A and B are shown apart, each in its own frame.
Chain A
Amino acid sequence: MDISLRINGEECALSVPASRTLLEALRDDMALTGAKNACNQGVCGSCTVLVDGMPVNACLVLAVNVTGRDITTIEGLGEGGELSVVQQAFVDAGAIQCGFCMSGMIVSATAFLAHNPMPSRDEIRTALSGNLCRCSGYVRVFDAVALAAQRLSP
Chain B
Amino acid sequence: MDFYQPTSLDAALALLAADPEALPLAGGATLVAMMNADLVEPSALVSLRDVAELQTIEAAADGGFRIGAMISHAALADEARLGGGNEVVRQAAARIAHPQVRNIGTLGGAVAHGDPSSDLPAALVAADAAIEIAGPAARRVVAAENFFEDYLTTALKPGEMVSAITLPVQPEGAVGHYEKFARVHGGYATLSVAVVLAMAGGECSHVRVALGAAGATPVRVDAAEARLLGSVLDADAVRDAAAILAEASDPIDDVRGSAEYRLMLVPRLLGRALAAAEGGA
A57 touches B36 (CB 8 A): no
Contacts of A59 in B (CB 8 A): 32-33, 36
- Identify the stretch in B100-108, B116-124, B168-176 within 8 Å (CB) of chain A at 4 or more residues: B100-108
Q: Which of A17-45 contact B (CB under 8 A)?
A: 17-19, 21, 40-42, 45
Interface string of B25-51 (1 = CB under 8 A from A): 101110011011100000001010100
Interface string of B78-119 (1 = CB under 8 A from A): 000000000000000000011111011000000000000000
Chain A residue at minimum C-beta to C-beta distance from B41: A19
Complex contact A130–B99 (CB within 8 A):
yes
Do the beta carbons of A41 and B36 come within 8 Å of each other? yes
Taking CB atoms, residues of chain B closer than 8 Å to A150 are none
Docked Cα-Cα span, A41 to B30, in Å, equals: 8
The answer to whether B37 and A42 touch across the interface, beta carbons within 8 angstroms, is no
The proximity string for A residues 33-69 relative to B, scoring 1 for CB distances below 8 Å and 0 otherwise, is: 0000000111001001001001111011110110100
Chain B residues with CB below 8 A from A129, complex form:
98-99, 185-186
User: B1 contacts the other chain (Cβ, under 8 Å)?
Assistant: yes
The answer to whether A1 has its CB under 8 Å from any CB of chain B is yes
> B100 contacts which of A17, A19, A21, A55 (Cβ < 8 Å)?
A55
- Chain A residue at minimum C-beta to C-beta distance from B101: A42
Q: A18 to chain B: which residues have CB within 8 Å?
A: 1-3, 45
**Interface residues on chain B, number (Cβ under 8 Å):** 26
B1-16 with Cβ < 8 A to chain A: 1-3, 5
A127 at the binding interface (Cβ < 8 Å): yes
CB <8 Å contact, A56 and B35: no
Contact between A62 and B45 (Cβ–Cβ < 8 Å)? Answer: yes
A48 touches B100 (CB 8 A): yes
- Kindly provide the distance from the CB of A69 to the nearest chain B CB, expressed in whole angstroms: 10
Contact A42 B35 (CB under 8 A): no
Q: Are B99 and A108 in contact (CB under 8 A)?
A: yes
Given contacts A41-B37, A62-B28, contact A17 B98 (CB under 8 A): no
**In the complex, which residues of chain B have a beta carbon less than 8 angstroms from the beta carbon of A64?**
3, 5, 47
Establish whether residues B3 and A60, one from each chain, have CB atoms under 8 Å apart when the complex forms.
no
Which residues does B use to contact A, with CB under 8 Å?
1-3, 5, 25, 27-29, 32-33, 35-37, 45, 47, 49, 74, 97-101, 103-104, 185-186
Instruction: A45-B100, A65-B5, A129-B186 given; name 19 further pairs at CB < 8 Å.
Output: A19-B1, A40-B37, A42-B29, A42-B33, A42-B100, A54-B74, A54-B103, A57-B100, A59-B33, A60-B27, A60-B29, A62-B28, A64-B3, A65-B28, A67-B5, A112-B99, A129-B185, A130-B98, A130-B100
